[in-house]
Amino acid sequence: MSPYTSFALDAWSARQLGAVEHALQRWVAPPEPVPAPAGLGDAMRYAVLDGGKRLRPLLVMAACEAVDGNPAAALRVACAVELIHAYSLVHDDMPCMDNDVLRRGKPTVHVKFGQAQALLAGDALQALAFELLTPDDGSVDPAVQATLCRMLAQAAGHQGMAGGQAIDLASVGRALTSEQLHDMHRLKTGALLQASVMMGASCGVAPAAARDALRDYGAAVGLAFQVVDDILDVTADSATLGKTAGKDAAQDKPTFVSLMGLTASRNYAQELLSQAHHSLKASELGHIDALSALADMLVNRNT
């Protein structure tokens, strides 16, 4: 049991997500005053709006809160990491990758708009993420903007998310060692989740030791997230998940469950959760309630 269960995560999340959804509506290729050309904006908005758990934005906002950071900067970061996540799903779902037709309970972008438009929408969402991080309205210190762009680029690129997806591709039908599986997930999903925490923290100032502790928290939470994802892939149904369940096994993809079994995977997720709580405590930061409750929620979710 977490020591922070008295924190009202639902109310906190609802407040944060209200701001994030409003910002996404306003910033993602809005139809007014000048729509993106040739339906591209529609595909971009479809990929991002009205769906998803928004875990990464919540981690950003919680980490910013932990360091008493600039909320205006954090809101931009929250949207930027969500755009990177959304673009990766659009491309990952395409026929040449996972070839999935269902996402968040809706047809995937390439099913709805065609493959070419899906490819472009993903590309444009990645560019937009960096555009959101670099406003010239005085709301975010330019040096912070540069740091945020660097962190996001590293997390999204070949030594981050894209690299993890390349390992994922190469691993289909092959047995991976525990170390290889960890490496894959550290990059594929872990890098962006950890970056969400660290970018949120970069919206304020924290001692080096606190930043190190947050980095450990981000690594533990990022890995736990994937372990739970693998568990849910075999224990939940498609309607609950809003995406195709059982597809890892169907595609013969290595997972934590296939490697260590269901019970050991569940124990591992709880162990990672303990590590996350330990790191938060070690950070000696003041406002860690939201980060703590988010870790609990990530591990104990059922969708």
| Binding region for its own copies (CB under 8 A) | 29, 34, 36-41, 44, 87-88, 91, 94, 96-97, 114-117, 119-120, 122-124, 126-131, 133-136, 142-143, 145-147, 149-150, 152-154, 156-160, 162-167, 169-170, 183, 187
Q: Which residues pair with 106 in a beta bridge?
A: 103
Nearest to its own copies of 160, 294 (CB atom):
160
Min dist. Cβ of residue 145 to its own copies (A):
4
Secondary structure (DSSP) of 65-95: HHTT--HHHHHHHHHHHHHHHHHHHHHHTST
Nearest to its own copies of 162, 282 (CB atom):
162
148: Cβ contacts below 8 Å, ≥ 6 apart: 73, 77, 80, 133, 140, 199, 202
How far is Cα 273 from Cα 297, in angstroms, rounded to an integer? 10
Nearest to its own copies of 165, 292 (CB atom):
165
Phi/psi of residue 103, each to 5°? -150, 125
Min dist. Cβ of residue 72 to its own copies (A):
15
Nearest to its own copies of 143, 208 (CB atom):
143
Phi/psi of residue 122, each to 5°? -60, -45
Min dist. Cβ of residue 24 to its own copies (A):
14
Long-range contacts of 135-138 (CB under 8 A, 24+ apart): 135/76
Amino acid at 207: P
Nearest to its own copies of 21, 131 (CB atom):
131
Min dist. Cβ of residue 271 to its own copies (A):
26
